[in-house]
């Protein structure tokens, strides 16, 4: 109740403050082999009802950023070394542990990639769902079980009442991911982070799960951060895109503008590497090379060793995020040329 009032107050006095505002976040992993700089000054914001897609290869820091926001970084070796994570204007990183715990799951929650390993194998799905209500809202066992079944029906699990006593391994991949979604949305959070929610699923099931997530998001007017490496998923549901590379955001733009004309060679490379029906028979352009090791990120622009446009300046000067258009930015010295070529 208290938090709801706070939210209302915040909404009245600070209408322009985004739901989540990540500012200059730095995360590093201190391992025996050296310090891996996983996130190097990431900033992004999400408003209520908005979907932000965070795009990038594995190791680009997209999941680590999300874990830092949720406060579930493996620590050690992971450490947040700088920045702010403002949730409705309040910094999650400096807030007390107990207060932050109460927000987790209730106000901001997370959907994990592999529901089979992310759900507790020895606890019935009904009990795992009911736990949300009994722990956060202090509901009785009976009430929380009833709510759990309701939530299972909400994500369209057939025969929810009978299946609430079943264990995760007894469900299909798609159904398990629905349970994962039900758990994340159980307390109608303001913000949901979905970390590759459909990667582990069959293509046909992917679409169903994605549609369900989008539908529930509209209904609850949640902010959604969709972490993915799948450009196809992004186009349908996202409002804005942030493309990450080597722990930095290299381009951020409204989804249609980015698809129409990327302003960063890396984004252009990603778009060029999707197989398309109308390009049948033509060459598929893969980005050459591999992402850099996070213990040894190249000087200048981290993408320069793989970039077709790289000049001398790219090897020495790290490009800041240049404003390309209202709501658009690109961390490329040659964003103008990239944009022109694409257009």
Only one of the segments 41-49, 65-73, 227-235, 280-288 lies at the binding site for another protein (rule: CB under 8 A); that segment is 65-73
Residue from 135, 139, 235, 342 that binds another protein (CB under 8 A)? 135
30 or 102: CB nearest another protein: 102
Q: Choose which of 29, 112, 266, 335 interacts with another protein (CB under 8 A).
A: 112
Beta strand ranges found along 106-165 (DSSP E): 108-111
- CA dihedral defined by 240, 244, 248, 254, rounded to 10 degrees? -20
- Decide: is 199 part of the binding site for another protein (CB under 8 A): no
Which tokens hold the place of 174? 């798609």
Instruction: Report which DSSP code applies to 215.
Output: H
CB of 198 to another protein, least distance (A): 17
**108 or 216: CB nearest another protein:** 108
- Residue selected from 183, 213, 314, 331 as contacting another protein according to rule CB under 8 A: 183
Report the residue from 60, 109, 198, 304 that binds another protein according to the rule CB under 8 A.
Answer: 109
Q: Where are the beta strands (DSSP E) in 77-203?
A: 78-87, 90-91, 108-111, 191-195
Contact letters (x/-) for another protein, 78-107, by CB under 8 A? -----------------------xxxxxx-
Binding mask 136-155 for another protein (x = CB under 8 A): x-------------------
- Residue whose pair of structure tokens reads 């949300």 in the numeric block: 132
* 122: number of Cβ within 10 Å: 7
3-class DSSP state for residue 323?
strand
Q: Which stretch binds another protein (CB under 8 A): 139-147, 166-174, 202-210, 331-339?
A: 166-174
46: tokens are 């999400």
Under the criterion CB under 8 A, does residue 295 sit at the interface with another protein?
Answer: no
Buried b (16+ CB within 10 A) or exposed e, 32-47: eeeebbbbbbbbbbbb
- The verdict on 131 binding another protein (CB under 8 A) reads yes
Asked whether position 119 contacts another protein by CB under 8 A, the answer is yes
Tell me the C-alpha distance between 202 and 205, whole Å. Answer: 5
**Binding status of residue 74 toward another protein by CB under 8 A:** yes
Q: Which residues contact 173 (CB under 8 A, 6 or more apart)?
A: 115, 116, 200, 201, 202, 205
Question: Which positions lie near another protein, rule CB under 8 A?
Answer: 70-72, 74, 101-106, 109-110, 112, 114, 117-124, 131-132, 135-136, 167, 169-170, 183
């Amino acid at each position: 109740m208290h938090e709801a009032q706070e939210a209302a107050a915040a909404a009245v006095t600070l209408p322009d403050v985004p739901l989540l505002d990540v500012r200059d976040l730095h995360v590093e992993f201190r391992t025996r082999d050296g310090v891996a700089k996983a996130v190097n000054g990431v900033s992004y914001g999400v408003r209520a009802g908005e979907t932000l897609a965070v795009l990038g290869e594995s190791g680009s820091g997209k999941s680590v950023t999300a874990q830092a926001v949720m406060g579930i970084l493996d620590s050690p070796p992971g450490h947040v070394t700088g920045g702010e994570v403002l949730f409705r204007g309040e910094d999650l990183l400096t807030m007390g542990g107990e207060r932050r715990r109460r927000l987790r799951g209730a106000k901001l929650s997370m959907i994990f990639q592999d529901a089979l390993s992310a759900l507790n194998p020895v606890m019935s799905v009904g009990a795992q769902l009911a736990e949300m209500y009994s722990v956060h809202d202090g509901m009785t066992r009976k009430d929380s079980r009833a709510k759990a079944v309701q939530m299972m029906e909400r994500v369209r699990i057939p025969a929810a009442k009978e299946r609430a006593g079943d264990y995760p391994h007894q469900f299909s991949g798609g159904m398990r991911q629905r349970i994962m979604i039900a758990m994340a949305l159980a307390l109608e959070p303001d913000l949901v982070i979905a970390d590759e929610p459909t990667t582990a699923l069959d293509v046909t099931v992917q679409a169903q799960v994605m549609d369900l997530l989008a539908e529930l998001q509209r209904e609850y007017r949640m902010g959604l951060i969709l972490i993915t490496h799948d450009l196809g998923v992004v186009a349908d549901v996202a409002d804005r895109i942030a493309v990450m590379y080597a722990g930095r955001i290299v381009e951020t733009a409204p989804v249609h503008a980015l698809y129409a004309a990327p302003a960063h060679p890396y984004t252009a490379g990603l778009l060029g590497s999707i197989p398309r029906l109308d390009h049948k028979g033509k060459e598929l352009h893969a980005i050459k090379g591999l992402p850099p090791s996070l213990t040894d990120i190249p000087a200048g622009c981290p993408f320069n060793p793989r970039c077709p446009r790289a000049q001398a300046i790219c090897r020495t000067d790290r490009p800041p995020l240049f404003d390309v258009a209202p709501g658009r930015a690109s961390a490329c010295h040659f964003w103008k040329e990239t944009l022109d070529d694409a257009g």
